[in-house]
């Protein structure tokens, strides 16, 4: 039914807001070993600091930073229900109206169209413009704005040694890049013969006794909709794994999903199935990179 209903209203997800927009973090007065950490409206950006504050409070007896603005007792009787509703609505509306200098373009709409992506469970009106932009970036020259990603410059005596211990791979020669290895099938990027790196013992142990599942790329026989993340992966009618992420690879013109499947059936060409909007769609596991499998373009 949901696949036919369409989207009438778009709601991101339930948020918990305090009247002033700050979270409520501290031990609750009058209750032994009872702690509060709620109304954290920006979980990804604030969650780490809130977790650190609580951990320090529990272990050390006090936090290392001034968190007076998060006091759970900062609101008195003036905070009635109508007042709270009004402030929370204002907070939600205004926080997305403020520019923080981290915004980036979703897609470039054609001049003849309104720059608005229509909500849909299927491929939207942004599909064609995004495809054109991807093709332009691959075949011509474009500038990608990535200022909202962190960049670090490590300098000084011992910088290379420090990075060598931080990374599981070896430091590249001047003018070359190195891919920081990740788990789940990218063990080829780990240099087990290095003298030492953080996590070396664990990586060595995993090498001898790998996890039951591994991350794989799957090419999906999709039509006008792509796979949703966290959806089940079927093999011979049985759920054997789940999707971690998915999307359409415009330059390769393939619908691609990444998913965790049992290692013993993670063979090149093995067939699986997804459900897309209630319809079973075939997918094929591939162990070869979809684009430039030999890495020749990187060496140009």
Alpha helix (H) residue ranges in the chain? 2-5, 43-60, 81-95, 127-139, 159-166, 200-208
Distance, in Å, from the CA atom of 273 to the CA atom of 281, rounded to the nearest integer, reads 6
Distance, in Å, from the CA atom of 251 to the CA atom of 254, rounded to the nearest integer, reads 8
What is the per-residue pLDDT across 85-111, written as a single tens digit (0 to 9) for each?
888 888 877 776 666 556 677 888 999
Q: What would the mean pLDDT of 182-201 be, rounded to a whole number?
A: 77
Q: What would the mean pLDDT of 63-76 be, rounded to a whole number?
A: 88
pLDDT mean across residues, the chain: 84
Name which of 48-52, 84-88, 296-300 the model is least confident about. Answer: 296-300
Domains and CATH numbers, the chain: 24-95 (no CATH), 159-208 (no CATH), 213-286 (2.40.30.110)
Distance of CA 262 to the CA centre of its chain: 23
Comparing CA positions, the residue from 246, 245, 244, 266 lying closest to residue 255 is: 246
Comparing CA positions, the residue from 74, 59, 60, 87 lying closest to residue 25 is: 74
Q: What would the mean pLDDT of 197-225 be, rounded to a whole number?
A: 88
pLDDT band at 75 (very low <50, low <70, confident <90, very high): confident
Distance, in Å, from the CA atom of 228 to the CA atom of 74, rounded to the nearest integer, reads 42
What number of CA atoms fall less than 13 Å from residue 104's CA on the CB side? 8
What is the per-residue pLDDT across 118-150, written as a single tens digit (0 to 9) for each?
999 999 999 999 999 999 988 888 777 766 677
Kind and range of the H or E run holding 31 = none
**pLDDT over 90 percentage in the chain:** 33
DSSP 170: P
Q: Provide CB contacts within 8 A for 71, sequence distance 6+.
A: 24, 26
Q: Can you give the pLDDT at residue 286?
A: 94
What is the per-residue pLDDT across 234-252, written as a single tens digit (0 to 9) for each?
999 999 999 999 999 999 9
Q: Model pTM? A: 0.62
Q: What would the mean pLDDT of 165-176 be, rounded to a whole number?
A: 79
Q: Can you give the pLDDT at residue 148?
A: 66
CB neighbour class for 38 (10 Å; exposed up to 12, middle 13-18, buried from 19): exposed
Name which of 41-50, 53-62, 182-191 the model is least confident about. Answer: 182-191
Kind and range of the H or E run holding 292 = none
């Amino acid at each position: 039914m949901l696949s036919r209903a369409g989207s009438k209203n778009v709601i991101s997800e339930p948020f918990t807001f305090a009247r002033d927009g700050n979270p409520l973090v501290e031990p609750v007065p009058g209750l032994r070993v009872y702690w509060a950490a709620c109304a954290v409206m920006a979980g990804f950006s604030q969650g780490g600091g809130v977790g650190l504050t609580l951990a320090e409070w529990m272990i050390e007896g006090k936090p290392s930073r001034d968190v007076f603005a998060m006091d759970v007792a900062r609101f008195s009787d003036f905070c009635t229900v109508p007042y709270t509703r009004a402030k929370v609505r204002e907070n939600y509306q205004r926080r997305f109206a403020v520019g923080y200098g981290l915004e980036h373009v979703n897609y470039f709409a054609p001049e003849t169209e309104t720059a608005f992506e229509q909500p849909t469970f299927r491929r939207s009106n942004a599909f064609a413009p995004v495809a054109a932009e991807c093709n332009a970036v691959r075949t011509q020259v474009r500038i990608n704005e990535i200022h909202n990603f962190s960049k670090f410059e490590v300098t000084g005596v011992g910088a290379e040694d420090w990075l060598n211990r931080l990374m599981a791979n070896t430091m590249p020669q001047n003018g070359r890049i190195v891919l920081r290895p990740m788990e789940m099938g990218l063990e080829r990027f780990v240099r087990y013969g290095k003298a030492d790196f953080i996590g070396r013992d664990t990586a060595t142990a995993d090498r001898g006794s790998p996890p039951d599942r591994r991350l794989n790329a799957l090419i999906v026989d999709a039509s006008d909709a792509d796979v949703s993340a966290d959806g089940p992966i079927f093999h011979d009618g049985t759920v054997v794994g789940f999707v971690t992420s998915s999307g359409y690879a415009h330059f390769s013109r393939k619908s691609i999903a990444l998913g965790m499947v049992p290692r013993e059936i993670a063979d090149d060409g093995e067939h699986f199935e997804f459900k897309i909007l209630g319809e079973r769609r075939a997918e094929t596991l591939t162990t070869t990179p979809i684009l430039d499998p030999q890495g020749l373009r990187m060496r140009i």
